[in-house]
């Protein structure tokens, strides 16, 4: 899909990876509807972008089914069309064992990280297929959609689920020309990761630099998006991880997520 002149919806557009996706799409000539829970964060994105009417902002809770159902109509009212959807919005969980995580916390993580992309994909795909138009869905999962680490049970379940959902939607919509990609970033230095950096900083020296320090003598385990978190990680064979990463289009930074999604034009239904 050519980006220039196309219209993309980006959730989580008020900060982190979502903001970088918004800015990159605008730089490439797209029109963007940025979605976020916070009006203030969306205003910050708009101030940085300086894109005029090519950027619209939409404050809503992506777990609100009625708001999600109304979103395509709101975007079309401004931009006249919707060509692509980036499901970026996500939250982290409390870092506790599975039996210490409250059911309310589990449901909240699943609602934002899994159910919301499901609902948004349904609304987008329904409209594109009804209009018999091709489109693109890009889901931002996580390296934790491929491997596991301790004290992140709900987050792992949601991100593994999003990888599986991407494959399923790809198969169901391929014949209608809707291509689906899933990107699995490693540990990226954004606001969502700050609690983990703080925990590591306290453990390894008490400052932010210590939070990025290696956790073993070989220099592995850094907060270096290419590898992801290694401490407590269920490590697979290197070749297997490389194959999985290649198939899922994993990239390594906020800017890279936007670029990687753009490059992942491997044909309808490919994941």
**Are 173 and 239 contacting, i.e. CB atoms less than 8 angstroms apart?**
no
Q: Which residues of 5-30 are buried (b: 16+ CB within 10 A; e: fewer)?
A: ebbbbbbbbbbbbbbbbbbbbbebeb
Among candidate residues 155, 169, 182, 251, the one labeled active-site is 155
Q: Is 155 a catalytic residue?
A: yes
HSE (CB half, 13 Å, CA atoms) of 271? 19
Strands (E), the chain: 7-11, 31-36, 55-59, 84-87, 135-140, 178-183
**Catalytic residue positions, numbered:** 155
């Amino acid at each position: 899909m050519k980006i220039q002149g196309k219209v993309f919806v980006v959730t989580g557009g008020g900060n982190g990876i979502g903001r970088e996706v918004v800015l990159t799409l605008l730089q490439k000539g797209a029109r963007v509807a940025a979605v976020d829970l916070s009006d203030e964060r969306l205003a910050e994105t708009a101030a940085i972008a300086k894109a005029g009417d090519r950027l619209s902002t939409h404050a809503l809770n992506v777990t609100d089914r009625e708001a999600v159902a109304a979103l395509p109509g709101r975007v079309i009212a401004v931009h006249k069309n919707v060509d692509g959807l980036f499901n970026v919005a996500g939250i982290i969980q409390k870092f506790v064992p599975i039996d210490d995580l409250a059911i309310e916390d589990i449901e909240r993580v699943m609602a934002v990280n899994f159910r919301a992309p499901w609902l948004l994909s349904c609304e987008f795909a329904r409209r594109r297929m009804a209009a018999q138009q091709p489109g693109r869905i890009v889901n931002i999962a996580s390296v934790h959609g491929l491997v596991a680490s301790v004290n992140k049970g709900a987050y792992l379940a949601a991100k593994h689920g999003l990888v599986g959902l991407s494959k399923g939607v790809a198969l169901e919509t391929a014949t209608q020309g809707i291509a689906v990609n899933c990107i699995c970033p490693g540990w990226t230095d954004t606001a969502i990761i700050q609690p983990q950096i703080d925990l590591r900083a306290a453990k390894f020296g008490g400052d932010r630099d210590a939070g990025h320090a290696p956790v073993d003598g070989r220099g592995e385990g850094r907060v270096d998006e290419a590898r992801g978190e290694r401490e407590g990680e269920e490590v697979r064979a290197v070749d297997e991880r490389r194959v999985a990463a290649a198939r899922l289009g994993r990239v390594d930074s906020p800017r890279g997520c936007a670029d990687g999604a753009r490059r992942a034009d491997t044909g309808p239904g490919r994941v």
